[in-house]
Amino acid sequence: MIPFNFEYYKPSSVQMAVELFQSLHKQGKKPMYYSGGTEIITWARANSIQPGSVIDLKFIPECNVIEMQKDKLVIGACVTLSVLSAANPFPLLTETAQGAADQTARNKITLGGNICGKIYYREAVLPLLLANSRMVIAGIQGIRETSIHNVFLQQLRLENGEFLVQILTDRGYLSLPFVHYKKRQIGNVGYPLVTVAAIKKDKQIHTAYSGVCSFPFRSLVMEQALNDSSIPLAARIEQAIGKLPAPLLDNAEGSASFRKFVLKQTMADAVQILERR
Amino acid sequence: MISSPVHIGLDARIKLGCTHEGRIMAAEILYLYDGGAYSDRGAVMSRAGAVDCTGPYRIDNVHCDSLCMYTNHPYSTSFRGFGHPELTFAMERAMDLLADRVDMDPLEFRFYNAIGPGDTSPTQTLMDRSNVGDLPMCIAKLKTLIHWDDRPLLEIDGDLIKAKGVCCFWKNSNTPTDAGAGAVILYNPDGSVNLLCGAVEIGQGTRTALTQLLAERLRMDDRMIHISTEVNTETDPHHWKTVASRSTFLVGNAILHAADDAIVQLKNIASIVLQCLPTDLDVGGGKVFRKDRSDIGIEIEKIANGYKFPNGNTIGGQVIGRGSYTMRNLTSLDPETGKGNPGPEWTVGAQAVEVELNTREYTYKIVKAASVIDAGKVINPEFARSQITGGMSMGLNFASREAFLFNDKGAIINPQLRTYKLIRYGEQPEYFVDFVETPHLEAPYGLRGIGEHGLIGMPAALANSLTLAAGVELNHLPLTPEMIWRTIHDSV
């Protein structure tokens, strides 16, 4: 049960949404954007957040598209993981999205929500980091488009009042050879010990990780190490792990040392599979 | 999840000694039950652990301390099995170790040491054919059920290893010595019956089984017996508690007693109408009839509310059967020796689990799980099977992935179902269930309690199968891949 009252708003356009946010903010009503609602409910029930008002983005048309526009795949931020997986415009994204939560939750969790949420796994961002996607962000200044690598650093860095509208991905990435692994503490549902998403482009292997550190990431120095075919794979992996951007996670899913063990195996599997393709 | 009571923990130290031929001679046991901050049921569960401390084996020399420990963990209460799944896990790991030490097949070793008539329990209760089930028969049936002799215990296929683990278990109840139940049977004018009793329906099908018992005794169609789905504490007779796998036993006995009372009343009225003695009569099929002339009788609807002669004179009145039953011959335990009779009977069983372990990742599939239990008398085969498989599922879940994780300040870091894992559809094994029937003479139609028992040996069987597959002693729960890896890693 959410133990406080809050106001609910349902804008039908991008412009209405950003103006609403400004106005509510000025009135001291502490607005928050949301789409699926799974995270906002989770945190509000635990009294960890107390928004005075919520702005439901689900009814903004641009936020719900899945379509090819010329050579770009356009996905609205409010598209649910279930709908996205069923449409399957980007197979690696489909597989990664299907690893999150369970079916019932994925019917509500949206692509934007998974990326912008407080829960630090944000697995759906991994294929986008690999595909160098572009993020379409709305704010009071207007709409801007920028490379994911300029705004996603551990999490999506948005200014106050901004929200993610769409994600654009070049057609060229959609059917590259790929691999996805999600290793959990046990069973088929749960947070990751290690999630690895990888693609092969121009004979180079690119990898992105979730569950390994306390944020999802892609690391160019790690990729450099993994692609150095002059040394054996085991050594490449050791080198790559030595270049992790932060210490390995140690949490309820598993210890750092077990994660390291699982990570090594998963990286080896990913590289071996992609080298053959 | 943490502000209400939780599942009890156990730290156990077991020392077993046997002859070179494999006959167990002595056991020295220490059970430290983690009762948490308040004892609630923790102390009673620790006592239950002492009572059945050895598992279903003949061990003439037993020393056991079973202590309920106060800790800074959430307080514990009864969980299905009441201390037995925990002690069985520890005891059965020890049994496997000892069997290996004398180079005996794990099932042969247990068969050879199975407790039976003439032996005594840890509390020095003498076993006879009625108060303990037939464990050797359960083991024999289990061997057939899982094709024990047809396939090797261990099968290797590249990175995957298939292994089978077994265990035996037993459980008696630890109710107060005066636990009991009542039952009332009210006849309706149409000859149907209202059954009033206090057993609570929680999905185990107890009120159906009790209806069946009454239908059997009265020899009537069970559709003519009305039983409410809920218990009304104002009008339903008392039942101690719907726990301990003793509801069908206690309430069933009360019902049979009430049925016999009703039968006497029916015969008394009918004997006058039929001009014979009550002892000349039998009841069944909606009638009271002459034993020697079954065509001479009277329909129950005509006498269920008394009998009205053609001239209007009426004899008798509504037939109301009353019955009650309390535990018999239970005694408290001697504070020095532990001697005493804790419960009516020991239900025994043999169980097995087959796993497929990935030796690279330490992940595993639970492929098969089997149970053979001496149920005394199976009252409802569908429900009995459901009770056992449901218990097996709970036991496998508990053993494979359930544990509260504490940080260094003693706070639980996984108090939600998103981090405290449960088995999902698609992960369950193929279940095999069979029964042996050795009657408990004190019980309705010989039945034994089976509500909890499917669960009890699953942690042990899972640990035994994974130990075989992994090649290291797995003596800690839960059996997650990390736990297996850690055990192998640490022993190197």
| Minimal Cβ distance to B482: which of A187, A191, A258 | A258
Chain position carrying tokens 């690391």: A219
pLDDT value of residue B152 = 87
User: Inter-chain contact A252–B414, Cβ cutoff 8 Å?
Assistant: yes
pLDDT value of residue B39 = 86
Spell out which residues of chain A touch residue B423, defining contact as CB-CB under 8 Å. Answer: 187
**CA–CA gap between residue A222 and residue A236 (Å, rounded):** 9
Band of pLDDT at residue B491, cut at 50, 70 and 90? low
* Domain A7-56: CATH class, spelled out: alpha beta
Residues forming a β-bridge with B283: B288
User: Inter-chain contact B480–A191, Cβ cutoff 8 Å?
Assistant: no
**CA–CA gap between residue B472 and residue B124 (Å, rounded):** 36
User: Inter-chain contact A185–B482, Cβ cutoff 8 Å?
Assistant: yes
Query: Does the pLDDT at position B70 exceed 70?
Result: yes
Band of pLDDT at residue B184, cut at 50, 70 and 90? very high
| Minimal Cβ distance to B482: which of A188, A255, A265 | A255
Spell out which residues of chain A touch residue B419, defining contact as CB-CB under 8 Å. Answer: 190-191, 252-253
User: Inter-chain contact B418–A102, Cβ cutoff 8 Å?
Assistant: no
Q: Which residues of chain A have pLDDT under 70?
A: none
Query: Does the pLDDT at position B347 exceed 70?
Result: yes
**What is the mean pLDDT of the segment spanning B54-76?**
96
Spell out which residues of chain B touch residue A255, defining contact as CB-CB under 8 Å. Answer: 482
Spell out which residues of chain B touch residue A272, defining contact as CB-CB under 8 Å. Answer: none
> Residue B235 carries which DSSP code?
T
CATH of domain A177-276: 3.30.390.50
- Shortest CA distance from B400: residue in chain A: A186
User: Inter-chain contact B413–A252, Cβ cutoff 8 Å?
Assistant: yes
- Shortest CA distance from A46: residue in chain B: B416
Q: How many Cβ pairs within 8 Å bridge chains A and B?
A: 44
| Minimal Cβ distance to A252: which of B400, B419, B424 | B419
Q: Which two tokens stand for residue A264?
A: 């090594």
Contact predicate A239/B467, CB 8 Å? no
- A137: which residues sit within 8 A by CB, 6+ positions away? A143, A144, A145, A146, A151, A158, A162, A163, A164, A165
| DSSP states along A148-202 | HHHHEESEE---TT-EEEEEEEEHHHHTS-EEEEEEESSSSSS-EEEEEEEEEET
User: Inter-chain contact B419–A191, Cβ cutoff 8 Å?
Assistant: yes
User: Inter-chain contact B421–A261, Cβ cutoff 8 Å?
Assistant: no
Please choose, from the candidates A175, A170, A219, A233, the residue with its C-alpha nearest in 3D space to the C-alpha of residue A199: A175
Chain-centroid distance of CA B289 in Å reads: 39
Between CA B91 and CA B93, with CA B92 as vertex, the angle to 5 degrees is: 95
Spell out which residues of chain B touch residue A191, defining contact as CB-CB under 8 Å. Answer: 418-419
CATH 3.30.390.50 placement within chain A: 177-276
CATH 3.30.465.10 placement within chain A: 61-173
* Element holding B15 (H helix, E strand): strand B9-18
User: Inter-chain contact A258–B414, Cβ cutoff 8 Å?
Assistant: no
Spell out which residues of chain A touch residue B405, defining contact as CB-CB under 8 Å. Answer: 252
Percentage of chain B beyond pLDDT 90 is 96
Spell out which residues of chain B touch residue A258, defining contact as CB-CB under 8 Å. Answer: 481-482, 485-486
Domains for chain B: give ranges and CATH numbers.
6-175+330-491 (3.30.365.10), 180-326 (3.30.365.10)
User: Inter-chain contact B481–A185, Cβ cutoff 8 Å?
Assistant: yes
Spell out which residues of chain B touch residue A252, defining contact as CB-CB under 8 Å. Answer: 405, 413-414, 419
> % helix / strand / coil in chain B, to the nearest 5?
30, 30, 40
pLDDT value of residue B3 = 86
Q: Is residue A124 classed as helix, strand or coil in its secondary structure?
A: helix
Query: Does the pLDDT at position B492 exceed 70?
Result: no
**CA–CA gap between residue B260 and residue B262 (Å, rounded):** 5
Contact predicate B372/B142, CB 8 Å? yes
Alpha helices in chain A (DSSP H): 14-26, 38-45, 81-87, 91-98, 103-106, 111-116, 126-130, 148-151, 171-174, 220-226, 233-242, 256-276
Query: Does the pLDDT at position B490 exceed 90?
Result: no
The verdict on whether omega for the bond into residue B478 sits within 30 degrees of 0, i.e. cis, is yes
Candidates A182, A186, A253: best to mutate against B (most CBs of B within 10 A) is A186
Query: Does the pLDDT at position B22 exceed 70?
Result: yes
Give A176 to chain B, closest Cα distance, Å: 28
* pTM score, whole prediction: 0.96
Spell out which residues of chain B touch residue A265, defining contact as CB-CB under 8 Å. Answer: 360-361
Query: Does the pLDDT at position B151 exceed 90?
Result: no
- A237: which residues sit within 8 A by CB, 6+ positions away? A226, A264, A267, A268, A271
CATH of domain A61-173: 3.30.465.10
**CA–CA gap between residue B169 and residue B64 (Å, rounded):** 17
User: Inter-chain contact A186–B401, Cβ cutoff 8 Å?
Assistant: yes
